[in-house]
Homo-oligomer: A and B are copies of this chain.
Amino acid sequence: MRPDIRQVAAEAGVSTATVSRVLTGRGPASAEATRRVTAAAVRLGYSPSASASSLRTDRSMIIGVLVPNLANPVVLPFLRGVEHVAQLHGYAVIVADAQRSPEIERRQLDRLSAQRIDALVVAGQPRDPDHVRRLAESGLPVADAEHFTAQATAMATSLIAVVDQVCDHLARFGHRHLAYLAQGRVAQGISGARWTLIESAAAARGITAQRILVGAPADPDRPDGPGMASLLDGLVRSPDGPTVLWSASHALAPHLLEGLAIADIAIPGECSFLTFGDSPWAPAYRPAISVVTNDLGAVGRAMTEDLLHRLGLLESVSTVSFDTDRYVARASVGPVASS
């Protein structure tokens, strides 16, 4: 049914070796041979079997992406970035969703391993970091988003500048107390780095910053509105409570906003609000929400380029800077209420 390399060879009147050389571009081939082979391949609708080629060359041309939780929309731009670069270099992307479970994560990593992926992208904190480490030690090129962003200095300096900018803005509006709200587990990598930056930038401007970990709702689809409301009410309305709430992630933001709405806390009248991560909902909200955009697509692209570089497929990693963080001030950040 499906044509194979031998049929192409027969059709072109050459040997299979020549067909292979022409189509892969590896090895010499005369202009005439090239012409006839490509013509025959097109005529027959030939498409070489990736399995056979992988088996022979020991290269699967597949990049695996381990996603801790595919329900989280922030992975989307990231995935897109990985896909984009991978595709440019003939690579396919296999997505492995760990569904927030260590066992599923292990199964998924095993599957990726069986596919003999050429490289692995870890798109967040894995549930079982040891397993990932073991893969890396066994020679698989691994790019970990947490480590990567913390190490990419261009990105870090961009973030520093933006955090400074935000704190300036807040100080100018008279804010003295800031609360940084993050979800559940304390992240080591990027999230931890952000907090350190915020804390020191705030301190430099006489703003006290506190970090508050709000328990991730058991079911992220049905957040605990009232619970969030009472938490925020107690926080904001306590003496010397924060006058600014800064959400660590875009996914967390709507839950916080819902809590604020229930507790009837006015934005920015009673409390200013901003968040990491942008989406069409931020400007659409009333009031429009200030954001610090973080271009995760760029991170995905850079990580994938780094991997391809390590695989020897890319001469130089694109030096396009990571200067993609930006502070977009909107109505949700305003002057502190004169009480």
A325 CB–B CB distance under 8 Å = no
Residues from chain B with a CB closer than 8 A to the CB of A95 are 79, 83, 93-95
A238-253 contacts to B, CB under 8 A, are: 251, 253
Across the interface, do B73 and A73 meet the contact criterion of CB distance under 8 Å? Answer: yes
* Cβ-defined contact, A114 with B49, below 8 A: yes
> When the two chains form the complex, which single residue of B71, B87, B284 contacts A108, counting CB atoms closer than 8 Å?
B87
Which one of B52, B77, B255, B283 lies within 8 Å of A55 (CB-CB)?
Answer: B52
Please tell me if A60 contacts chain B, counting CB pairs below 8 Å: yes
**In the complex, what residues of B have CB within 8 A of residue A52's CB?**
51, 55
CB pair B116 A97 closer than 8 Å: no
Residue total for A at the interface (Cβ-Cβ under 8 A): 59
Is A254 close to B, CB under 8 A? yes
Say yes or no: B73 contacts A76, CB within 8 Å: yes
Q: 0/1 per residue, A97-141, Cβ < 8 Å to B?
A: 101000010011011111110000000000000000000000100
Q: Which residue of B lies closest to A83 (CB)?
A: B97
The answer to the question of A153 belonging to the interface, with a C-beta cut-off of 8 Å to chain B, is no
A70 to B93, CA, bound (A): 13
Contact of A281 among B47, B114, B281 (CB under 8 A): B281
Chain B residues positioned under 8 Å from A174 (CB to CB): none
Restricting to A271-323, which residues have a CB under 8 Å from any CB of B? 279-281, 283-286, 288
Q: How far is the CB of A293 from chain B (nearest CB, A)?
A: 10
Nearest B-chain residue to A104, judged by Cβ = B87
Among the listed B113, B251, B279, which residue makes an inter-chain contact with A47, where contact means beta carbons less than 8 Å apart?
B113
The interface residues of chain B lying within 8 Å CB-to-CB of A116 are 49-51
> Min CB distance, A72 to chain B, in Å?
8
A21 at the interface (CB under 8 A from B): no
Does A169 sit within 8 A of B, measured CB to CB?
Answer: no
